[in-house]
Amino acid sequence: MSTRTAYRTCPLCEATCGLELTIDDDRITRVRGDAEHVFSKGFLCPKGAAYGKLLDDPDRLRRPLVRDGETWREVSWPEAFAAVDAGLRGVVERHGTNAVAAYAGNPNVHTLAGGLYLTPLLRALRTTNLYSASTVDQMPKHVSCGLLYGDAYAIPVPDLDRTDLLVMLGANPLESNGSLCTAPDFPGRLAAIQGRGGRVVVIDPRRTKTAEVADEHVPIRPGADAFLLFAIVHVLFEEGLVDLGSLAHDVSGVEQVRVLAGDFPPETVAERCAVPAERIRGLARELAAAPTAVVYGRIGTCTVSFGTLTNWLVDVVNTLTGNLDRPGGAMFPVPAHLRRREAAPGRGFDLGRWTSRVRQLPEVAGQLPVATLQDEIEAPGEGQVRALVTIAGNPVLSTPNSDRLDRVLDSLEFMVSVDTYLNETTRHADVILPPTDSARVGHYDFSFLALAVRNIAVYSPPSLPPDPGAMDECEILARLTLIAEGKGAEADPAAHDEALLSAALGKGGVDRAEISGDSPAERLLDAALRAGAYGLTLDELKAAPHGIDLGPLEPRIPGVLRTVSGKVELCPAPIVGDTERLRAALADPAPEFVLVGRRHLRSNNSWMHNVTVLVKGKARCTLQMHPDDAAKLALVDGSPARVTSSAGEVVAPVEITDSVLPGVVSLPHGWGHDRPGTRMAVAQEHAGVNSNVLTDELALDPLSGNAVLNAIPVTVEAAG
């Protein structure tokens, strides 16, 4: 037996920890945290520890499948691509390119293929029917940053390692390990804030693990964060606490924000938030007085009715307290694959360049809200979606009113899924194209190194040799691109690789003769690194398996801005328009119960429930409920409760806990593995229920098209 050690980045969440893999005869037999990693310094969570088991999952697909009626046939790659070519070509010939829709799921932000080959594929499809997990996730942040900074991808992250006061809303990094804030060992970084005399405040309707380690937990009524933050802004102005610091000449619209905030004094919103007015005033004073402070919001601020307003307000508070773009505040990273930009006039950020066919919903960042995908498939007429391409997504569990999506997928003329499992979504496909194991390909975090709390660079080459019958996801996407371009199933992907490399070299001004790399993806990465901010090379990254530390974050305004005015536009017109809706919502009656989600450290959205070590133990898909509410409904721990919303109903076992506010119930998402026709034996035994049966596809944050997945009005009663 041969034993060796390899180092690679964990691809399972945004923390991007360094893993130390023990490999026996080309199998991963042990996973530890890489103690020498420049960023994660040995940190590891249970999912990372199970990485080898995940790769060994016997249910995981390794060869393409083609549907034969109700059964599946394992086929060769050429046969699979021929079936895709025939299927897509037929739909385009009969109905045009817009009849093909694509949905890109979350793991795309964790793969080289997603970073390098996805956009070209989506372009080649020449369809406006593009959807992704972004509109059930962070789209409000993109829109608010697009409006504020002129670039939807210029997202400031909390400078965790230097801040004196961290105020977190709707984030639970002790379970999620952080999001839109890449910070391996989030727990350690929070402890370090406290260790240096700083404070951590958590605003969440649930007393989460993060709230438990924080200095203070402020329980809030779900969906009320925009009110709370507006009231903080109100106090900053009222009490003369606004101080833009070094950004005084780089920000416009401050006076207009003051006027808007006039309608939201703490005393007006306190009841709505269930937070005392004095506490809101206190938060404003503390944020203004701290040497450095930062507000950070995540899922609980995005997947709500006022998602864009809330995310805008997070950055407004950071700006008004002088904490935008300064150490210890909210800062813009510079990843090694991008250039450090110089100040230049921008074109700003446009919303609604086109609209969806059925509900006339505005386009955002080149895509349509996934909440309307089912309408586009179901409603007949010119432009109806007749074919679907899914890439690393499970929308049948992850998007609102997903039972309806589940039903309409069967009406498609053709569907192809690039996915590692035969699951709730891919069971509707005609062809499934499974990419090879992630440990057999390279890894570089295009997305997360641009959201990291330190500038670092790290590349992981393949840790395991190729599986001869399997295919790299880059090649799968390249071949799909060639098919979409009409070049056929047998076209040579080398031509596509070459076109991408030429474009990258041209844009970066890099000499082709210098480029190195063992695969097309490596050569593309080398081109990006050479043109990037630090002039690094792939070979330098390969020589540093524990990563290269490029230092703490640095101020980037005005260079990072791409607004028309060249300033931070603090009070954009679309935001002003939406504050009207917020004002009106102050008078909304409170529903008896509202539903919120939650995450668990051993889970990852919908797709890691087929690994025994990650699902064993107490059932996790429970309806959490406050003891007072349970008593009123005569529910005891473990008894079934029926939860009903405008969209549907589920029955889930009750878990009585005083960690949720009275009137709030919580159910995690990504469960409901009891559908027939999937191939996930372990997940089926731990099926749980799908919380997205309850979320309503009609409820959206209007500016971003993001689905409302939190603060859902529901009724609850004993079942059976």
The CB-of-284 to ligand MGD minimum distance in angstroms stands at 17
220 binds, options ligand MGD, ligand SF4, Mo ion, none, Cβ within 5 to 8 A by partner type? ligand MGD
Minimum CB distance to Mo ion smaller for 127 or for 606:
606
Buried b (16+ CB within 10 A) or exposed e, 303-336: bbbbbbbbbbbbbbbbbbbbbbbbebbbbbbbbb
What would you report as the CA-atom Rg of the chain, rounded to the nearest whole angstrom?
25
The CB-of-304 to ligand SF4 minimum distance in angstroms stands at 25
Residue number of the CB atom closest to ligand MGD: 300
DSSP 8-state code for residue 361: P
Does the protein bind Mo ion through residue 472 (CB under 5 A)? no
The CB-of-683 to ligand MGD minimum distance in angstroms stands at 10
d(CA 146, CA 156): 12
Mapping DSSP to helix (H, G, I), strand (E, B) and coil, where does residue 586 land? coil
d(CA 479, CA 391): 13
659 binds, options ligand SF4, ligand MGD, Mo ion, none, Cβ within 5 to 8 A by partner type? none
Q: Which of 184, 207, 158 is nearest to 35 (CA)?
A: 184
d(CA 174, CA 471): 35
Does the protein bind Mo ion through residue 14 (CB under 5 A)? no
652's tokens: 């889930």
696 binds, options Mo ion, ligand MGD, ligand SF4, none, Cβ within 5 to 8 A by partner type? none
The CB-of-453 to ligand SF4 minimum distance in angstroms stands at 14
Q: Which of 656, 591, 595 is nearest to 629 (CA)?
A: 656
670 binds, options ligand MGD, Mo ion, ligand SF4, none, Cβ within 5 to 8 A by partner type? ligand MGD
The CB-of-13 to ligand SF4 minimum distance in angstroms stands at 3
Residues that bind ligand SF4 (CB under 6 A): 10, 12-13, 15-17, 44-45, 47-48, 177, 184
Does the protein bind Mo ion through residue 325 (CB under 5 A)? no
17 binds, options ligand SF4, ligand MGD, Mo ion, none, Cβ within 5 to 8 A by partner type? ligand SF4
292 binds, options ligand SF4, Mo ion, ligand MGD, none, Cβ within 5 to 8 A by partner type? none
44 binds, options ligand MGD, Mo ion, ligand SF4, none, Cβ within 5 to 8 A by partner type? ligand SF4
d(CA 552, CA 160): 11
Mapping DSSP to helix (H, G, I), strand (E, B) and coil, where does residue 610 land? coil
203 binds, options ligand MGD, ligand SF4, Mo ion, none, Cβ within 5 to 8 A by partner type? ligand MGD
Phi-psi region of 21 (alpha: psi -120 to 50; beta: other; left: phi over 0): beta
The CB-of-213 to ligand SF4 minimum distance in angstroms stands at 16
Q: Which residues contact 243 (CB under 8 A, 6 or more apart)?
A: 288, 320, 321, 322
Which H or E element spans position 95?
helix 77-95
Binding mask 103-142 for Mo ion (x = CB under 5 A): ----------------------------------x-----
Residues that bind ligand MGD (CB under 6 A): 13-14, 105-107, 111, 133, 136-137, 169-173, 175-177, 179, 203-206, 208, 220, 222-223, 225, 298-300, 303-304, 391-395, 398, 418-421, 423, 435, 438, 473, 596-601, 603-607, 669-670, 691-692, 695, 709-711
The CB-of-600 to ligand SF4 minimum distance in angstroms stands at 12
Q: Counting every residue, how long is the chain?
A: 720
The CB-of-636 to Mo ion minimum distance in angstroms stands at 34
Minimum CB distance to ligand SF4 smaller for 323 or for 603:
603
* CB-CB contact of 42 with 34 (8 Å): yes
223 binds, options ligand MGD, ligand SF4, Mo ion, none, Cβ within 5 to 8 A by partner type? ligand MGD
Mapping DSSP to helix (H, G, I), strand (E, B) and coil, where does residue 204 land? coil
As to burial, measured by CB atoms within 10 angstroms (0-12 exposed, 13-18 middle, 19+ buried), residue 435 is: buried
692 binds, options Mo ion, ligand MGD, ligand SF4, none, Cβ within 5 to 8 A by partner type? ligand MGD
548's tokens: 């290269």
In angstroms, what CA-CA distances link 430 with 19, 413, 416? 36, 9, 6
d(CA 545, CA 541): 7
Minimum CB distance to ligand SF4 smaller for 45 or for 218:
45
Minimum CB distance to ligand SF4 smaller for 13 or for 147:
13
Q: Which residues contact 337 (CB under 8 A, 6 or more apart)?
A: 444, 446, 449, 525, 528, 529, 532
Binding site for Mo ion (CB under 5 A): 137
